[in-house]
Amino acid sequence: MAEAEATQQGGDAPELKFEHQEEMPPDARSARHWTTAVTALAAALMTLDITVVNVAMPEIGADLGASLDSLQWIVNAYTLSFAALLLTAGSVSDLIGRRRIFLAGVAVFTLASAACALAPNAGVLIAARAVQGAGGAMVLGTSLALISGVFEGAPTRARTTAIGLFTAGGAVSAALGPLVGGSIVEWLSWPWLFAVNVPLGLLIIYGTVRKVPEDGGTGGSRQIDYAGAILAVLALFLLNYGLLAGSEDGWSQADVLASLITGALLAVAFVAVQWRLGERAMLDLRLFAIPTFAGALLLSFAARIFSFGMLPFITLWLGGMLHLTPIEIGLVLLAQSVAIIIGAPLSGLLTKVVPVSRVLALGMAAVGTGVLLTVGISPDDDWTALLPMLVLIGVGAGLTLPHLLSLAVNVVPPSRAGTASGAANSFFPLGTATGVAAFGVVLTSKVNDVMSASALGEHAVPDSAAGQLRRLVTAGQFDAVAAAVPGTARGPVLSLARSAYTEALSQIFLIAGIAALVAAAASLVLVRDKDTYETPVTRE
C-alpha cells in the first residue's frame, strides 16, 4: 500500500499520501470519481422527489379523484417513510455493507417510481410513495458512508470536496424541484414526474455495479441492534406523523396527540436501549459527546427549518395571493438555486483561509439577515419582495450545506460512518416537519387573530362562516375566499384575508431570522477542527 510504503520512508511521509494525482493508484482514483458521481446523482434524484410532487397536486387530484386528505398523504407518505428508516439503514449498512444497501435502495426506489407512474388510484400512489421513501432512505443513509469508505486514507480536504459535491446535488435538486415539476406537469403530465426516475435509477445501478468497489461491512462481531432499529423506526415515524398531521389538522386531534405522546415515549425507550448497549448500539450515544458531531446535527436540523420549513407558506403566497403559475413559482425560486450554485464553491475557497466554523456562522448569518430583511412584507408587495431573502438564503445554504454532512462523518471512525450519515440525514426531514408544524401554528394563530369573529362581523360575515373563511386563508385559497363572500363585503373581507396572511408571513420570517442568527452563534461554539478523526497509522 502507498500509505505503508510512505510510512516506512520517514516520519513526515504520511502527509504526502494521495496528495498528488500521480501517486494515487488509477483504480482508486476511478473508484473515488465514480462513487462521488453516482451518489451525487442519487442525492439529486431522491431529493427531487420530495419537492416536485407539490406543484402537481391539482392535476393528480383531478385525474385520480383524490380527496384533500389523500393528496396530503401522497406528499407525506414519502417523507414519513424516508425519515423513519434513515437511521436504521445507515447503521445496518455499517454491518453488512454500504454498497449492498445502496444498490438495494436504488432498485426499490426505481421500481416504486414505475408503480407511481402507473398508479390507477390515490391508494396505490400513496403506497408506492411510501416504498419510494424506503428506497430513498436506504440510498441517502449509505451514500456518505460509501464516500467516506472509498476516500479512507485520502486527505481530509479530498473527502470533504466529494461530500460537498454529493450535498450540492441534493441542494440544487431541492431548489429546482418546483421549476422541474411545474415544467413536466405543464408540458407532459404528472405520471412523468415519476417515470423519469426509472432510466436515471437504472443508470445509477449500472455505474455502481461496474465502478463502485465492494465493501463487506465493518461490523466484525457486532450484531444488528434489532430492538434499537424497531424503536427508531416507530419513534421517528410517529413523531414525524404527529408534526405533519398536527400542522394540517390541528393539535387537539386524537391521532395527533397519540402519535406525539407515543413517539416521545418510544424515543425515550430508544435512548435507554442505546445507552445500555453502549458500543454495540445502533446509534452510539457517545458520538454526541463530540461537539462537532452534535453541532452538525443541530445545524442540519436548523437548515431544513429555514428552507423546506418555510417553503409551503411562501409557495401558497406566490400561487394563492399573487396567482403565479407553477412554472412562474419555480422561476422565482430559481433565484435561490442560482445563489446556492454561487455559494457552494465560495464555501470551498473560504475554508482554505478560515476555519469551517466561521464559514458555517457566515452562512447562517446570511440566512438570518435575508429572512429578517423580508419582515414587514405587505399585501401590496409582489414576488420581488422575496428576492433579497431568496438570494441570501441560497448563499447561506451554499456556504453551509457542503460541510454539514461531512462534519458528521469526518469526526467518527470509518466503521461508524453509516451510523453518522444516517443520524445526520435523519435530522433533515425532522427539521422540515418541525418547521412546517411550528410555522403552521404561527400562521393559523395570526390568521385567526386578524380574522376574528368580531373583525369579520363588521363586514356582515356570520360566525358560522368565519371558521371556514379562516381555513381557506391558511390554505392560501384566496379565490375561494372571494367566491364565498357575496356582494359588497367581498372586497373588504378579501383585503382582510390578504393582510392576515402577509402579517403571518412576516411573523414567520421574524422567528426564522432570529433562530438562524442563534444557529450562527452555535456553530462558532460547537464546530471544532480538532474533533476531526485521524485514521491511526501503523508503523512497522
Cα separations in angstroms, 409 against 27, 87, 313: 24, 14, 33
* The residue to which cell 398523504 is assigned: 73
* The residue to which cell 391558511 is assigned: 474
User: Residues 387, 392, 395, 401: is their CA dihedral positive or negative?
Assistant: negative
Domains 25-219 and 289-535 share a fold: yes
C-alpha Rg value of the chain to the nearest Å: 24
State which fold the 25-219 domain adopts: Growth Hormone; Chain: A; (1.20.1250)
DSSP 536: P
Q: Which contiguous run of DSSP H or E holds residue 207?
A: helix 197-211
Please name the amino acid found at residue 176: L
Cα separations in angstroms, 201 against 51, 61, 90, 133, 363: 18, 27, 20, 14, 33
**Directed axis angle between helix 156-187 and helix 326-350, to 10°?**
170
User: Residues 410, 416, 421, 427: is their CA dihedral positive or negative?
Assistant: negative
* The residue to which cell 441534493 is assigned: 170
pTM of the model: 0.69
Residue-range domain boundaries for the chain:
25-219, 225-281, 289-535
Q: Is residue 129 a contact partner of residue 88, using CB atoms and an 8 Å limit? A: no
Q: Is residue 261 a contact partner of residue 239, using CB atoms and an 8 Å limit? A: no
Q: Is residue 49 a contact partner of residue 227, using CB atoms and an 8 Å limit? A: no
DSSP 164: H
DSSP 118: T
Q: What is the residue-level pLDDT of the chain in tens, covering all 540 positions?
A: 333 333 333 433 333 343 344 455 556 667 777 777 787 788 778 777 776 776 676 677 777 776 655 666 777 778 777 777 776 776 677 667 777 888 888 899 999 999 999 988 888 888 998 899 888 888 877 777 777 666 666 566 666 667 667 766 676 676 677 777 777 877 888 888 888 889 988 988 888 887 777 765 555 445 666 777 788 778 877 876 776 677 566 677 787 888 889 988 988 888 888 788 766 666 677 777 788 888 888 888 887 777 777 877 887 788 778 888 777 877 887 788 788 778 877 877 887 888 888 988 998 899 999 999 998 888 888 889 989 998 998 888 888 877 776 777 777 766 666 667 667 766 776 677 677 777 877 888 788 887 776 666 666 666 666 677 777 777 677 777 777 777 776 778 788 888 888 888 999 999 889 989 998 998 888 887 776 656 554 444
State which fold the 289-535 domain adopts: Growth Hormone; Chain: A; (1.20.1250)
- Cα–Cα dist 465/468, whole Å: 5
Contacts of 15 by beta carbon, 8 Å cutoff, 6+ apart: none
DSSP 535: P
